[in-house]
Amino acid sequence: MGVNKDRMLAGEWYLPDDPELAEDTARRFALCAAYNAGGGAAPADRERILTELLGGLGREVRVRPPFQCDYGYNIRIGDRTFVNFNAVFLDAAPITVGADVQIGPNVQLLTPAHELDTERRRAGWERADPVTVGDNVWLGGGVIVCPGVTIGENTVVGAGAVVTRDLPAGVLAVGSPARVVRRLTG
């Protein structure tokens, strides 16, 4: 692996315009384009593309196109998860989505963070922190999950929420930034 890819995967500052990462991006672009264009393709063909694109794909996963990601190989999706239209998973760090998760339309799972120093930001430096979504979570339409966030199992995040900090298991969270409004039962 190249130095920048190693740094990226280690959660360190890296430059994303590295030639090796550009190859990974070209691979992802081709696979996402094939997946997103294959609306009439047989389910087995669509699953084959997702299996090649993603780092891990559970059983009976449904992802509605269009779907976009940075690399794909850092994404793992658990059994019976549903991902609705226009999902964006920026996976410079691992994105782990549990089993039986419901992801609404226009949801963004974001791992990259950019440098606050103006010169380093202009030079293109970034780093990434993992995103983890527990089993049986529901992310409403338009939810944005920021770098480094873990969402506990059985949690519901209301439409349009921006999740900037970890959420515990079994709660309802809404708003920007998302805040817990109550515990969920059963």
Nearest to 178, CA basis, from 160, 156, 163: 163
pLDDT at 185: 86
120 is catalytic: no
* CATH number, residue 91: 2.160.10.10
CB 76 within 8 A of CB 55: yes
- Convert the pLDDT of each residue in 50-85 to its tens digit: 999 999 999 999 999 999 999 999 999 999 999 999
Is the pLDDT confidence value at 39 over 70? no
| Domain count across the chain | 1
Q: How confident is the model at residue 94 (pLDDT cuts 50, 70, 90)?
A: very high
CB 113 within 8 A of CB 133: no
CB 177 within 8 A of CB 167: no
pLDDT at 18: 85
Q: How is residue 89 written in tokens?
A: 């998973």
When pLDDT is averaged across residues 107-120 and rounded to a whole number, the result is 95
Amino acid at position 38, single letter: G
pTM across the whole model: 0.95
- Convert the pLDDT of each residue in 17-36 to its tens digit: 888 899 999 999 999 999 99
pLDDT at 178: 98
pLDDT at 17: 86
pLDDT at 88: 98
Extended beta strands in the chain, E state: 56-57, 62-63, 67-69, 75-77, 82-83, 87-90, 95-97, 102-103, 108-110, 112-114, 126-128, 131-133, 138-139, 144-145, 150-151, 156-157, 162-163, 171-174, 179-183
Residue 24 domain boundaries:
3-183
Which residue in 10, 23, 33, 114 is the catalytic one?
114
pLDDT at 119: 96
Is the pLDDT confidence value at 1 over 70? no
pLDDT at 40: 64
pLDDT at 142: 98
